[in-house]
Structure 1
Amino acid sequence: MWVTYGLIVIYCKINTEDGNMIYIVGIGPGNRNYITIEALNTVKNSEVVIGSKRALKNFEINGEVIELTKNLKLELYNFLKEHLKTGNKKNVSILSTGDPCFSGLLKTVLDFDFIKKEDIEVISGISSIQYAASKLKISSEDYRILTLHGKEENLKKLLECVKNKEKVIFLPNNIKRELGYLINNGVSKDITATILENLSYDNEKIVTGPICNLINENYSYLLVCVIN
């Protein structure tokens, strides 16, 4: 099964007693050129492929297509529950943008009460964090890496890191609100950050400047932010 969530190419395999396969495959940062050969082949050979419209268009699909909407988690839960209950032996691929192991669908699937951890195998690919580091020519091991996707509690961790002058790479949830939170909680408005938008796509954009300027721009949801 394939899943669209996050910024990497990953594939998880769930073996069931009925013999069917469920694959969770990330699609990398977004551009087809960054999808692994294994991911492409797995989707091509699956009888059911599930993912967002943006993810689905990057693959050659021979089986049934199920497009996920904003209710991704519920739709995925209901499908997998019914799929396993009926003993369907079709191979299923779930597409996931981003790394399923970081702000991705691995945690989502493992949280389902009918999925066991030992049933899953993961094959990782290129995440947006990795891609961003390569574009900026920085070593990600020198940075604190955080996600704010559904992680409101990490906003305080971000503030703490910046105040402690730690280098940070984070996935924003609402970049304008989050930069405003930093400024409103004592971070200098002149601190420099880099915002990387639509990574690997034709409209990729990288902007560096003081956060007081960056906060006034409009951005898409596909972002990585780096604070040195």
Structure 2
Amino acid sequence: MIHFVGAGSGAVDLITVRGQKLLEEADIVVYAGSLVNPELLTVCQKDCQIYNSAKMTLEEVTEVMISGEKQGKKVVRLHTGDPCLYGAIKEQMDLLEKENISYKVCPGVSSFCGAASALNAEYTLPGISQSVVITRMAGRTPVPEKESIESFAAHQATMVIFLSTGMLEELSKRLIEGGYQPETPAAIVYKATWEDEKVCRCKVKDLAVTAKENGITKTALIVVGEVLGGEYERSLLYHPEFTTEFRQGKGKEGAGNV
């Protein structure tokens, strides 16, 4: 059984209890290079074989995992954040399936969640945004044309943009062309939850300048949307006039339920 484990957003104590236990028991760990906090590896057994996948190809990574499994060893593939986002795990799983090797995924705290905590932000504020768009700019890895920044910006939902710190001038341009006002609140969160985390608040039009002023060139998330402003509506869930499964409302809203 191969275990794909989400390492969390950066801080050592943000890995799940299950994920840490799997690391402690592993005979082989293949971890995602500089994107994973190396302190996490200190819980591994002294004789654990540790591989840095930043220096490996897909075939080399899977060969280590397959070989270890066939030798009866416990193998952990340690990914940054949660493996489901930009983790390139599907191609690894497919190769394991061809070898009839079973696997499981242990979820982790994604950096987009870590960024929200760094900003003390709620991505889904009533009356402002009830959706979160997680996307990226096209770079060496292409993005489908139907998923352009402009098309998502037209919805005015909260946006969290990965892997785009080196293209912020173009990002600002596309966000504005898509429908965001130049003054829309934005933030650059560098290495969310790591010890050297940095939070830079700005406007959509100022993303590139803000990054340059703070020396941020990579390993950052861009958050965009009015949820970073100060306006929103009160939640009905805890409104005294709103009825839920557990509480009867006291006014004209009492007939409603959630």
TM-score range, shorter chain: 0.7 to 0.9
Residues 137, 49 of structure 1: alpha-carbon distance in 2 compared, 3 angstrom cutoff: same
Residues 118, 129 of structure 1: alpha-carbon distance in 2 compared, 3 angstrom cutoff: farther
What's the offset of the Cα at 1:32? 0.4
* Bigger Cα displacement from structure 2, 190-199 vs 26-35: 190-199
Match of 2:144 in 1: 153
Structure (1 or 2) with the greater strand fraction = 1
What's the offset of the Cα at 1:127? 1.2
* Greater RCO (CA < 8 Å, at least 6 residues apart): 1
> How many residues in Structure 1 have an aligned counterpart in Structure 2?
205
Match of 1:68 in 2: 53
Match of 1:221 in 2: 218
Match of 2:123 in 1: 139
Contact 1:197 / 1:205 at 8 angstroms: preserved in 2? yes
What's the offset of the Cα at 1:170? 2.3
What are the Cα deviations for residues 10-55 of structure 1, in whole angstroms up to 9, with x where unaligned? xxxxxxxxxxx31111110011011122211211111111114443
- Inter-partner Cα distance in structure 1 for 2:56 and 2:145: 23
Residues 154, 80 of structure 1: alpha-carbon distance in 2 compared, 3 angstrom cutoff: farther
How does the TM-score come out when normalised to structure 2? 0.67
CA RMSD of superposed structures (Å): 3.0
Match of 1:58 in 2: 40
What's the offset of the Cα at 1:161? 1.7
Query: Tell me, which stretches of 5 or more residues in structure 2 are unaligned?
Result: 226-258
Contact 1:109 / 1:115 at 8 angstroms: preserved in 2? no
Match of 1:35 in 2: 15
Question: What letter corresponds to residue 164 of structure 1 in structure 2?
Answer: H
Match of 1:201 in 2: 194
Kindly indicate whether residue 142 of structure 2 is the aligned counterpart of residue 174 of structure 1: no
- Inter-partner Cα distance in structure 2 for 1:44 and 1:227: 38
Percent of residue pairs bearing the same amino acid type: 18
What's the offset of the Cα at 1:109? 2.0
What's the offset of the Cα at 1:166? 2.5
- Inter-partner Cα distance in structure 1 for 2:95 and 2:3: 15
Match of 1:17 in 2: none
What are the Cα deviations for residues 64-90 of structure 1, in whole angstroms up to 9, with x where unaligned? 122222445343133234445xx2211
